[in-house]
């Protein structure tokens, strides 16, 4: 099969499109013919080795999100069958024509959800879902600040906060066009952070009270000001550091305002895997019903993954960037 492999950490030029052996599956596994794979911002840092402590021991196929057709199942798999369309979140291996997965994690796709839509869901929508609903416990009627509406997690977070939790949603975006699109997704208020400082805007929009919940995936100064935007008793969940600078909690502020600030959050550690799989199944249902929708910004052939990474790094996109093997 063809796949994208990383032989050494670095910029986009380390992504090699090459022939590799087909993956093997065990009794509890499924083999999937990948029709669409999603790029997440975390893929960029994984490729660069930002969080690595040692050189690669062997070539790495990155990629967490895939949708495709089941072509083989292990003897113990009962929830899916050969020929079925599925979506799955992988530990790695998504940038390829074939991907092996644990059969228990494969979610059958309804006819109304296509491969591109499905592949865009696992990391982005699950991150927002688990962070907002299960970690921050966002409730109906509360006000939430969701950073970076143009990102996959932000796009998902705006909708989950509004259409699932029933919250009032304030979000940020980098252009007026993205602000308009965020409002179309359900944001009650959207702030262009290139022309307005979001912190005083949030204070104005909440009559100086602040927000009950904030979701940040940027880190650095954005994280710090997101904490300042919290109301007394507010909750902030940090799910990433796309700025390249990690979050630093103001402990004195958190204590004085009785805030709950969660950093070091990881989707794989936030709850049991079986619950995460059930949550993904529910997300797929809501997309099929039209309650949630995913925006596909651009699609690249697998052979052009390096260019796709450059595009995502530019922050020009609104929504998800997809690869087609």
- Answer yes or no: is 287 within a domain: no
Q: Are both 151 and 254 inside the same structural domain?
A: yes
Whether residues 69 and 90 share a domain: the answer is yes
Query: Is residue 186 packed enough to be buried (19+ CB in 10 Å), middle (13-18) or exposed (0-12)?
Result: middle
> Positive or negative CA dihedral for 159, 310, 240, 231?
negative
> Which pLDDT belongs to residue 307?
97
Do 100 and 54 lie in one domain? The reply is yes
Domain shared by 140 and 190, yes or no: yes
275 occurs within a structural domain: no
Indicate if 25 and 44 belong to the same structural domain: yes
Contact 41, 64 (CB under 8 A): no
* Residue 300 dihedral angles phi and psi, to the nearest 5°: -120, 145
Last residue of a domain, one of 268, 284, 310: 268
The answer to whether residues 66 and 151 belong to one domain is no
In a domain, 284, yes or no: no
Q: Which two tokens stand for residue 69?
A: 């057709």
Rounded to 5 degrees, what angle do the CA atoms 30, 44, 18 make? 55
Does residue 156 lie in a domain region? yes
CATH number at residue 129: 3.90.180.10
Same-domain check for residues 142 and 242: yes
Residue 30 has pLDDT above 90, yes or no: yes
| Maximum Cα interatomic distance, the chain, rounded to a whole number of Å | 60
- 3-class SS letters over 14-52: HEEEEECCCCCCCCCEEEEEEEEEEECHHHHHHHHCCCC
Q: How many CB atoms lie within 10 A of CB 55?
A: 8
- Does 79 lie in the same domain as 105? yes
Any domain includes 285: no
Cα–Cα distance between 21 and 266 in angstroms, integer? 31
Q: Tokens 């019903």 sit at which residue?
A: 289
Tokens representing residue 183 in the block? 């409002």
Is residue 280 in some structural domain?
Answer: no
Domain assignment present for 282: no
List pLDDT tens digits, range 264-300: 888 888 889 999 999 999 999 999 999 999 999 999 9
Mean pLDDT of 294-310: 97
Q: Give me the domain span that covers residue 247.
A: 125-268
Average pLDDT of the residues of the chain: 95
Whether residue 169 sits in one domain with residue 103: no
Tens of pLDDT along 160-178?
999 999 999 999 999 999 9
The answer to whether residues 61 and 136 belong to one domain is: no
For residue 53, being part of any structural domain is answered with yes
The verdict on 184 and 49 lying in the same domain is no
Q: What percent of the chain has pLDDT over 70?
A: 100
Question: How many folded domains does the chain comprise?
Answer: 2
Same domain, 209 and 235: yes
Alpha-carbon distance of 83 to 72, in angstroms, equals 8
């Amino acid at each position: 099969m063809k796949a994208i492999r990383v032989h050494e950490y670095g910029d986009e030029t380390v992504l090699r499109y090459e022939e590799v052996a087909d993956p093997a599956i065990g009794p509890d596994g499924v083999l999937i013919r990948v029709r669409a794979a999603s790029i997440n911002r975390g893929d960029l840092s994984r490729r660069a080795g930002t969080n690595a402590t040692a050189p690669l021991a062997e070539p790495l196929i990155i990629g967490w999100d895939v949708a495709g057709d089941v072509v083989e199942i292990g003897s113990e798999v009962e929830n899916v069958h050969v020929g079925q369309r599925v979506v799955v979140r992988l530990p790695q291996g998504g940038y390829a024509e074939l991907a092996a997965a644990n059969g228990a994690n494969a979610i059958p796709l309804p006819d109304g959800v296509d491969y591109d839509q499905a592949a865009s869901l696992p990391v982005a929508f699950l991150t927002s879902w688990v962070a907002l609903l299960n970690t921050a416990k966002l409730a109906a009627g509360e006000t939430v600040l969701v950073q970076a509406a143009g990102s996959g997690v932000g796009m998902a977070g705006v909708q989950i906060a509004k259409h699932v939790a029933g919250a009032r949603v304030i979000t940020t975006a980098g252009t007026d066009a993205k602000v308009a699109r965020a409002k179309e997704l359900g944001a009650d208020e959207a702030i262009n952070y290139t022309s307005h400082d979001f912190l005083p805007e949030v204070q104005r929009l909440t009559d100086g009270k602040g927000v009950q919940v904030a979701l940040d995936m940027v880190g650095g100064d954005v994280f710090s000001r997101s904490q300042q935007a919290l109301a007394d008793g507010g909750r902030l969940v940090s799910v990433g550091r796309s700025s390249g600078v990690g979050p630093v909690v103001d402990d004195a502020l958190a204590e004085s305002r009785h805030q709950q600030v969660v950093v070091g959050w990881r989707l794989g550690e936030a709850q049991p895997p079986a619950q995460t799989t059930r949550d993904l199944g529910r997300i797929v249902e809501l997309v099929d019903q039209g309650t949630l929708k995913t925006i596909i910004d651009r699609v690249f052939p697998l052979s052009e993954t390096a260019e796709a990474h450059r595009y995502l790094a530019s922050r020009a996109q609104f929504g998800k960037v997809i690869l087609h093997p």
